[in-house]
Amino acid sequence: MKMKKVLMVSSLASVLVLSSFSNVFAESQATTSHSDIFIDATVQGHERNNLLNFMVNLEPDARENVIYEDENGKLLANKPKLLQKVIKYKKTSENIFETPDGKESFALPVDDSKPSQIVLHGDQFTQENNKNSVSNSVYKDTTCTATSKVEEEIGTQATQHPCTGSTGPYRRVTSQANYSWQSHYVYLPGGSEIRDHNTKGTSDYNGDAGYVYVGGQGANGGGVDAGLLHSTLYDNWGMLISVDGDPLGYDQRFKSKQNVNMKFSIPSSNNIALTISGNDYTTNKNTTVTFGRSAKGFVPGGGNILKRLTTIGQKPQNFHTGSYIHNARWYSSLIGNSSTNYHTWTASDTNASGTCSYTTDVVRVNYVNAGEETDNIDI
């Protein structure tokens, strides 16, 4: 009997040792997998897997500070303290949103750049797009052509981006289809270079807000506006992503009067990412932040249309408020499908109806080439 007990204890001990070894091995495997991606140890389980799946497709230099809203609206971050800076705006009226502290309230611009299919005929094929102004003409987009019969005439089906608006003046450049990554340097106006009115409680408040942003239309639907919003109160620029008209902010404030690097990517299906590198408003240290959201319809490398804009968001639209934004320079623009597969943004990458100044009465563009221009808006 004594021998049997000894054998049982010995067997149990062996099982425990093997079990412990297996657990240690599994933990070691989990720790060493994707060792170049940092996620705080407090982020565990399903949330950790969700965040890791998002981060693994980001370029390495975009993984330092990552905030991500998943498909269920759950907010995740590789450093939990980052979640304290997420801004959930309060909608106070149509297209007007307010910060939680009630100090700032701004109009969210709605970019009506969703392409429509039209039919071109005869001499419409030869019309050229005026790079610096609005045109009411229709242009051929050679990326999307097909024969079509309308009213007994044969034409070519093409993609047209409308140059209209109801939420403020803007300058927009839109790409051809089938891209999923873009990068730009952009100068952030400050001081006397910009005037808007989004500080609540002031006599001149009207919600006007300056923006420089990127984004696009998904291959399977959906629209994203992602970039920087100017604060009248602090004269700095904060991050914001609007998915189908639903804005979410991040209180990383970048200094005015500096050049920042702004990237927009589709790291995986139904996910988008905005990465901005520049000097922090408070510390003056170079900071890189990636803000990601779930966005249905976006697909890596397939069918997406990308864009960049300079605008003053307004509601209601009024071109006589005295607001302006000067010297918003976009340059060193790149476009492609990833950080390892890209090229300089050239005229051939720009949709034939993709350049729009709404309107030429208030928007002036110093055009250098398809990847560089300086935008000025005065209303």
| Residues 83-109: b if buried by 16+ CB within 10 A, e if exposed | eebbbebeeeeebbbbbeeeebbbbbb
Q: If you classify domain 81-113+166-378 with CATH, what class do you get?
A: mainly beta
Cβ neighbours of residue 366 closer than 8 Å, sequence gap 6 or more:
373, 374, 376
DSSP string, 170-191: EEEEEEEES--EEEEEEEE--G
Q: C-alpha angle 149/155/160, rounded to 5°?
A: 110
Give the predicted TM-score (pTM) of the model.
Answer: 0.82
pLDDT at 353: 85
> What pLDDT is recorded for position 291?
98
CB 317 within 8 Å of CB 167: yes
- pLDDT at res. 159: 58
**pLDDT of 150:** 32
In this structure, the dihedral spanned by the alpha carbons of residues 357, 98, 204 and 107, taken in order and rounded to 10 degrees, is: 20
User: What pLDDT score does 116 carry?
Assistant: 55
143: its two tokens? 């990326």
pLDDT tens-place values along the chain, 379 residues long = 554 544 444 554 444 444 444 443 333 333 435 888 999 999 999 999 999 999 999 999 999 999 999 999 999 999 999 999 999 999 999 999 999 999 999 999 987 666 654 333 333 333 334 444 433 322 233 333 333 333 333 333 345 678 998 899 999 999 999 999 999 999 999 999 999 999 999 999 999 999 999 999 999 999 999 999 999 999 999 999 999 999 999 999 999 999 999 999 999 999 999 999 999 999 999 999 999 999 999 999 879 999 999 999 999 999 999 999 999 999 999 999 999 999 999 999 999 888 999 999 999 999 999 999 999 999 9
Structure tokens at 331: 């340059």
Cβ burial, residue 133 (10 Å; 0-12/13-18/19+): middle
List of residues 6+ apart from 30 with CB closer than 8 A:
none
330 Cβ contact partners less than 8 Å away, ≥ 6 residues apart: 173, 184, 185, 186, 212, 308, 310, 371, 372, 373, 374, 375
Q: Alpha-carbon distance 38 to 372, whole Å?
A: 35
Collapse the DSSP code of 295 into the 3-class scheme (helix H, G, I; strand E, B; otherwise coil) and give the result: coil
So what's the pLDDT on residue 162? 85
